[in-house]
Amino acid sequence: MTQNNRTTQKTQRIEPFVISRVLDAPRDLMFKVWTDPKRLKNWWGPKGFTVTTLKVDLRPGGTMHYCLQGPNNLEIWGKFFYREVSPPERLVCVNCFSDKEGNITRHPLSPGWPREMLTTITFKDLKGKTEVCIEWLPINASAEEIQTFDSGRASMTGGWTGTFDQLAEYLAKIK
């Protein structure tokens, strides 16, 4: 996944969304906080959200099913379908919104959002610190979904920034 532009199954070109952060933790620990449910539930999700349900089967072909509870008791369910698990360097999954039973659904607040996002998470060792890089790319997306994705880049940046902030706070507590 080193190209700058990607092609969806419907041959439309789209620039992936990419965001990264250098965090104060060694790579092995960083991989664990992204994959160990006991650690993950302490920080996963945008600021203001908490994990209320989390089930992880960490292997290619496995899944992660979770519920984030936000302001006003808003519940957002999601599901990862793991494609690649390469400790401590990389995770690749298809990320979707879901219902409580794990069935794929539309984004609860943005019905035009792509149903499937190819998500690549890389962990780069920086001598005691780790650069975590997230790449999101819609797959099997319609033209409307791609347009919604492109117009949502500021929101994605805000959501991931809040998630990284929560991760940094969690790492500071466990050091």
Q: What span, in angstroms and rounded, lies between the C-alpha atoms of 129 and 126?
A: 5
Q: What span, in angstroms and rounded, lies between the C-alpha atoms of 149 and 155?
A: 10
Q: What is the pLDDT of residues 61-89, one digit of tens each?
A: 999 999 999 999 999 999 999 999 999 99
* Residue where the block lists tokens 């099913």: 65
Give percent above pLDDT 70 in the chain.
93
Report the predicted TM-score, pTM, of the whole model to 2 decimal places: 0.91
CATH architecture of 15-174: 2-Layer Sandwich (3.30)
Question: Which amino acid, one-letter code, is at 35?
Answer: T
What average pLDDT does the structure give for the chain? 93
> Which phi and psi (to 5°) does residue 98 adopt?
-145, 175
* Residue where the block lists tokens 């706070």: 169
| Residues 135/16, Cβ–Cβ less than 8 Å | yes
Q: What span, in angstroms and rounded, lies between the C-alpha atoms of 88 and 111?
A: 35
Q: Running DSSP on this structure, what letter comes out for residue 110? A: -
CA-CA-CA-CA torsion for 161, 162, 165, 169, nearest 10 degrees? -170
Report pLDDT for 13.
78
Report pLDDT for 12.
64
Q: Delimit the domains of the chain by residue range.
A: 15-174
Q: What is the pLDDT of residues 10-46, one digit of tens each?
A: 456 799 999 999 999 999 999 999 999 999 999 999 8
Tokens of residue 12, six digits: 């439309």
Residue 93 Cα to chain centre, angstroms: 9
